Amino acid sequence: MRTASVARKTKETAIAVTVGLDGTGVYRVSTGIGFLDHMLEQLSRHSLIDLTVEAKGDLHIDFHHTTEDSGIAIGEAVAKALGDRAGIRRYGDALIPMDETLTRVALDCSNRPYLIWKVAFTRPKLGDMDTELFKEWFQAFAQAAGLTLHVETLYGENNHHIVESCYKALARALRMAIEADPRAPAAVPSTKGVLGGTL
């Protein structure tokens, strides 16, 4: 089992994360932000990554720090669990419909973080959560996990569906990318012999 735990503590947040990459999608998530909890549960369930998140943040200010720092902590745990990334498929993609919405995610576990975010919302908030914070979460996660991550909503109207399709597409693409490659079970999937650094 590829597992890892990360504890991140700042003056703004205290977050403890545990991931099991070879799990069954069991989750226990508590960030104090209901909608974010819902999205992280989707991430776990559809990636089959077991995920525990306990976060305490300065929610009396706003949701920004807790959202961003949870992305960082989960990403760090995923990177730690992947180790040198030997034996993985490396690439993953998913095209996920949710009613009227269709979102595409493609990713590379390259250890060269980069985010392309082509997602538009028609409202500034979902419940109490600012919709602009979802890009912050994906940016933080991609950076900390070492992912080249492209997220694009091709079309959609309902903002809840748009966000949820992004997380579900990330989950399915991540599941594909981190799976063991039976044809190269010990090889780092790069001609350099290492993932990361320059192209």
56-78 residue pLDDT tens: 999 999 999 999 999 999 999 99
What pLDDT, on the 0 to 100 scale, is given for residue 189?
67
Burial call 117-126: b when 16+ CB within 10 Å, e when fewer: bebebeeeeb
> In this structure, are residues 55 and 31 in contact, taking their beta carbons and an 8 Å threshold?
yes
CA distance 140 to 142: 6
Cβ-based neighbours of 191, under 8 Å, separated by 6 or more = none
For the domain 3-178, what is the CATH code? 3.30.230.40
What pLDDT, on the 0 to 100 scale, is given for residue 197?
57
Interval 33-64: pLDDT, tens: 999 999 999 999 999 999 999 999 999 999 99
Tokens of 193: 């012999």
Residue type, 51: L
CA distance 105 to 87: 22
CA distance 199 to 59: 40
Sorted by where each begins, the domain ranges of the chain are: 3-178
pTM of the predicted protein model: 0.94
What pLDDT, on the 0 to 100 scale, is given for residue 66?
98
Q: Is 183 exposed, middle or buried (0-12, 13-18, 19+ CB in 10 A)?
A: exposed
Give me the residues of the chain with pLDDT under 70, please.
189-191, 193, 195, 197-199
